Amino acid sequence: MGEGLIASLDLTVVGALEPYCDHPAIKAVGKASELADQPPLIAASLATVAAGLLARRPRLARTGVRMLASHLLATGIKTLLKDNIDRPRPKKVEREGEHAVEPGKSKDGEERSFPSGHSAGATAVARSVVREYPGGAGAAYALAATASAIQVPRKAHFPSDVVVGVVIGLVSEALVELVLRRR
């Protein structure tokens, strides 16, 4: 990845977005995308389970369980990759001019760009909701796509970090679906 085609494309896209990075809309959407971080997604999943149980709506409770399981699996996969691959975030590359991808050993957040956890979590949760409530696909996917895509202009991730995060989210939810279907 370091100096190959993907890295070159990543750097080109981030460079092209540079004029927009400080725009108030990018900053506002970026701030809102923090709802796709681990604690808020876990809280939303647990709140969905609780709401389903309290309202005696099994489908809603099942959605929350699916959201939580998919998110936790996506987080585990994302963490495994971050622990084994050091890749500087775009902000650091811009500041220091070096874009080296190396075997993971850093615990420094600025070296843990790959993959995007926001993208993995948001996608896993969105797909979980859509699995139970297909009519909500437009809204769920739009929110996940926004939380994922905004990571690039806010210089938190490169495009390939986001794409891999989305794939992790989709695979995680699909694996949870396989387990739940067997029950």
**Dihedrals φ, ψ of 85, to 5°?**
-135, 120
Residue 3 pLDDT class (50, 70, 90 cuts):
low
pLDDT tens sequence across 84-125: 999 999 999 999 988 888 898 888 888 999 999 999 999 999
Compute the average pLDDT of residues 64-93: 96
Distances (CA, A) of 11 to 83, 93, 110, 175: 23, 9, 16, 33
Task: Please state the pTM of the whole predicted model.
Answer: 0.94
Cβ contact 13:160 at 8 Å: no
Cβ contact 63:133 at 8 Å: yes
Look at residue 44 in the predicted model and tell me its pLDDT. Answer: 98
